[in-house]
Structure 1
Amino acid sequence: MGLRYGTGAEVLAGLDFRLAPGSFYFLTGPSGAGKTSLLKLLYLAQRPTRGRLRLFGEDLSEAPRSALPEFRRRIGVVFQDFRLVRHLSAFDNVALPLRIAGQSDREIEGPVREMLAWVGLADRASARPPTLSGGEQQRVAIARAVIARPELLVADEPTGNVDAAMADRLIHLFEALNRLGTTVVVATHDLSLIARVPGARLMRLENGQLADPTGELRHPPTNLAAEAGR
């Protein structure tokens, strides 16, 4: 599988890999190696210009655009630039995936409040993104990505704007989600994060090519809130 933008050289070339369901991966590599481009393939913002891409058992390389939103709803994404809806409160940003899934305000209230408390923003629920710091926006973006327990979570430098204590807390949240069965892919420059997740697999990109992932599979239990609260 390969990816190029326009008529330029391929930014990703010769990719041939499979993500084991329910596994936790760290994606590393130098700046410019293609990490963000690989993540874009995984959350269907780009499709390969060469080769095939299968997600959730379906070949999506040439699927009609109208079919992609259904698959994207099964993916949680933490973007480097957050991509929060500026005119919505932190609460409503986090609630978006649940509302799109058709849940009522009554069903949404408790889980969203609990998630905001977990990421340290219980007192900022009514704040809009322009009034939040970069680290606070990052935490809202992470809460939004995990609130609906996606089948695949893709995170691009998710701890880059928070302190070490909050980074630990967020990684624990990703671990809890992973134990519930979500496949997690975290792109990071912070190699110290890898040691915090026993059994995580490591994928390394260099010059648009991917090294073989290593590590052990993880085993899913049952309750995200309980697991994250350990």
Structure 2
Amino acid sequence: MASVVQFESVGLRYGTGAEVLRDLDFTLSKGGFYFLTGASGAGKTSLLKLLYLAQRPTRGRIRLFGEDLSEAPRELLPDFRRRIGVVFQDFRLIRHLSAYDNVALPLRIAGREEAEISSAVREMLDWVGLGDRAGARPATLSGGEQQRVAIARAVITQPDLLVADEPTGNVDAEMAKRLMHLFSAMNEFGTTVVVATHDFGLIASNPAAEIMRLDSGALVDPTGSLRNPPRMDRIEVRP
């Protein structure tokens, strides 16, 4: 199966601090479904930032859609980003735009015709239960409603890669189930899905998905042992 993402010995640090991610080696297959889990502070958000190109690694190599990002010109990065849908934990809706216009924005950027945009956006808003809130601005929406608008915006372009940070954290159990069904349907059509979550019930609802567990910036297997033990030449010995 073709890979969408490849990490090779990837590490990340902010400034001069300690590495928040270390020695990450993994591949995300086209059409794969992955849950990213781990304790608070384990590095999940930092890993997601690398996936959706908000951050570059401090070391190592990342390949995205078959291209080595360390060698890709900066002017090509927007083209890569347009193939990625992102659901942010803090929503990041544009406050002066309605729910409809927030969801329509990626399609307008892609140059779609307004008639096509109208049909797609209204269908998506109906799917997430907000068909009657299309004209509402974010400030008038509840947290759960804002989350659903953010999800609709992320999936409206049917991206090659969908990255979601706690996408069901602000919705009730029934809507969480419906949203996961939406992600699963996209996955069946070929979208690679990565969902960061603390909700083990959510993980249990999709037993075919692969679980990626982070512990202190390193990937570990379900038993808690390191998938990628640190190389001896990277261990700092203190007196």
Task: Give the TM-score taking structure 2 as reference length.
Answer: 0.87
Deviation of the 1:66 alpha carbon: 1.9
Structure 2 counterpart of 1:102: 111
Structure 2 counterpart of 1:116: 125
Determine whether 1:20 maps to 2:29: yes
Runs of 4+ in 1 over 3 A off after TM superposition: none
Deviation of the 1:97 alpha carbon: 1.1
Moved more, 103-112 or 151-160: 103-112
Deviation of the 1:67 alpha carbon: 1.6
CA 1:46–1:62: 2 relative to 1, 3 Å: farther
Deviation of the 1:65 alpha carbon: 2.5
Structure 2 counterpart of 1:8: 17
Deviations 1:162-210 (A, max 9, x none): 0000000000000000000000000000011011113111000000001
Code of the aligned partner of 1:187: A
Structure 2 counterpart of 1:77: 86
- Structure 2 Cα separation of the partners of residues 17 and 125 of structure 1: 40
Structure 1 counterpart of 2:182: 173
Q: Judge conservation of contact 1:48–1:61 (CA < 8 Å) in 2.
A: no
Instruction: Name which of 31, 46, 49 aligns with 2:40.
Output: 31
Kindly report which structure 2 residues correspond to 1:1-230, keeping only aligned pairs within 5 A, or say none: 1-212=10-221
Deviation of the 1:212 alpha carbon: 4.9
Which is richer in strand? 2
> Structure 1: any 5+ residue segments left out of the alignment?
214-230
- Structure 2 Cα separation of the partners of residues 61 and 186 of structure 1: 25
Deviations 1:10-62 (A, max 9, x none): 00001000001100000000000000000000000001101001100001135
Counting aligned pairs with the same residue, the percent is: 78
Task: Give the TM-score taking structure 1 as reference length.
Answer: 0.91
Paired positions, count: 213
Structure 2 counterpart of 1:224: none
- Structure 1 Cα separation of the partners of residues 54 and 71 of structure 2: 13
Code of the aligned partner of 1:58: E
RMSD over aligned CA atoms reads 1.0
- Structure 2 Cα separation of the partners of residues 197 and 112 of structure 1: 27
Code of the aligned partner of 2:208: G
- Structure 1 Cα separation of the partners of residues 117 and 89 of structure 2: 26
